[in-house]
Homo-oligomer: A and B are copies of this chain.
Amino acid sequence: MVVAKSNNLSDSLEDYLEDIFNLEGKSDVARSKDIAKLLGVAKPSVTGALKLLAKKGLVNYRPYGYVTLTDSGVAEAARVAGKHNIIKSFFVNILGVDAKVAQEAACKAEHALGPAIISRLLDFTDFITRTNGSGSDLADKFKRFRKRQHRINK
């Protein structure tokens, strides 16, 4: 089930873009080797992806040179990274999922959820994080609820 995207970017290319974005944020520059390591792919795979992204005008690529995002590359990457954070935040802060598990699941789910759902998920996380009438945080309430539900397994 390969899905046509409006932005014409495959899941794979979105991942590259996102990682370049994160690397730029950390060290102002993305090195091919680091991209490969972060994504868990071999170096030639990175070269191939960079060429594709360059053709789409999303990265500035020159053989043996440093990699930077173009303006539209930054925009695209930020969109993907934003999804990632919204999803991960929901998993961690609301569902109480382990950070590492949440991180990995968010990596995959970010390609599955469109703007309608992402927007609602963001609002919902915001909503549920707030203190409600009872003066007790709902995420905490849920943790206790879940503990009760599963006490038989503990």
> Which A positions have Cβ atoms within 8 angstroms of B?
1, 3, 11-12, 15, 39, 91, 94-98, 101-102, 105, 107-109, 111-114, 116-117, 120-121, 123-124, 126-128, 132-134, 138, 141-142, 145-146, 149-150
Contact = CB atoms under 8 A, between A and B. Distances in A.
Contact of A133 (B114, B120, B133, B145): B133
The count of identical subunits is 2
Given A105-B112, A108-B111, A127-B145, 20 more contacts: A1-B11, A1-B107, A91-B117, A94-B124, A95-B124, A97-B116, A101-B116, A105-B117, A109-B112, A109-B113, A111-B112, A112-B112, A120-B146, A123-B146, A123-B150, A126-B149, A127-B142, A128-B142, A132-B141, A138-B138
